[in-house]
Amino acid sequence: MLSVQKSKWVVKLLLPVFVAVLSLFVLSEKIPQTQFVQTSLESVEKSQTTVMEFAGATLATSIAISALPDDFASPLAESLADMNKYFIFILMVLFVERLILKQGIRLAFALIIPIGCILYAIGYAVKKDFFVSFGKKIGILGLAVFLVIPCSTHITECVADEYLAYVDETISDTKTGSDTINEVMSNEGSDQTIFEKLSGAFQTAIQGVKDLLAYFNNMIKKCINSIAIMIVTNFVLPLINLFFFKWLLGELFQIQFSKPDFTKYTRKMNAAVGSIVDKGSTDEE
């Protein structure tokens, strides 16, 4: 019979192998289909739709404003058009998040975590701390890939509901502004000035250029606030979660994520540069 110490050694050796097999053949198929992940995926896809609607609304409003007479609102139209670069950035982030949810989580359980477990088992068997530590880090990376995006979307829905409603309101106001301007500009049968038409259409006291600029300036401020909200909820929060899980999992598994030590490479480079300079000086003499 195996001794107690030998039995513990066998268990510790076979446990990561069992986890690797479980992760590869079971979890890689089951986890991506769970409600936790699917709800997160729906949230990301909804955010993509919102960003595209917002981009379309700001672009339509920009075109509508630029059609007003005397080019007095051209700077405002340009400001709205310039917002598209932020929408492109947010869409890129959301695309990466969607890719992680659809393929990354499956890859984490089918490849990353099994590799980490096997490396851990090998390191434990041959008593090499490097493989044990490296296997743990790879396993933690796989868990982080699984947890970061779903947790971020669920946290966003819990704490940022009010702000997301503000974004929806801004999109609605921007669309309404664009439609109203186009409607006013197409109505040519009235003797009213453009400002009187806009005053009645927007139901606000627009008496001249100053009041109209103030109205659209306020719209631009709401758009900027909404863009900031989307960047925070779709980019900053996942980033914070990534660092949090990196710290939490590192603490749980007692892993130190040390930074690379470039000191010795810097010394070698300085020595090499110094020798080249000295050689050049000698050649000149």
pLDDT digits (tens, 9 = 90+) for 69-91: 656 667 778 888 888 889 999 99
CA–CA gap between residue 124 and residue 128 (Å, rounded): 6
CA–CA gap between residue 185 and residue 182 (Å, rounded): 5
197 within 8 A of 187, measured Cβ to Cβ:
yes
In the prediction, which pLDDT does 214 show?
74
Phi-psi bin for 3: left (phi > 0), alpha (psi -120 to 50), beta?
beta
Give me the numbers of helices (H) and strands (E) for the chain, helices first please: 13, 0
What pTM was computed for the model?
0.74
* Residue with token string 């719209």: 219
Please write the tens of the pLDDT for every residue from 95-121: 999 999 999 999 999 999 999 999 999
Which stretches of the chain drop beneath a pLDDT of 70?
Answer: 1-4, 67-73, 184-212, 249-250, 252-285
CA distances from 132 to 128, 139, 176 (A): 7, 11, 60
> How many Å is the maximal CA-CA distance in the chain?
104
CA–CA gap between residue 2 and residue 8 (Å, rounded): 10
In the prediction, which pLDDT does 82 show?
87
Q: 202: helix, coil or strand? A: helix
The end-to-end CA distance of the chain, in Å, is 81
User: What per-residue string of b and e applies to 28-50 under the rule 16 or more CB within 10 Å gives b?
Assistant: beebbeeeebeebbebbeebbeb
CA–CA gap between residue 271 and residue 101 (Å, rounded): 48
What φ, ψ does residue 148 adopt, rounded to 5°?
Answer: -60, -55
* Residue with token string 């050689």: 279
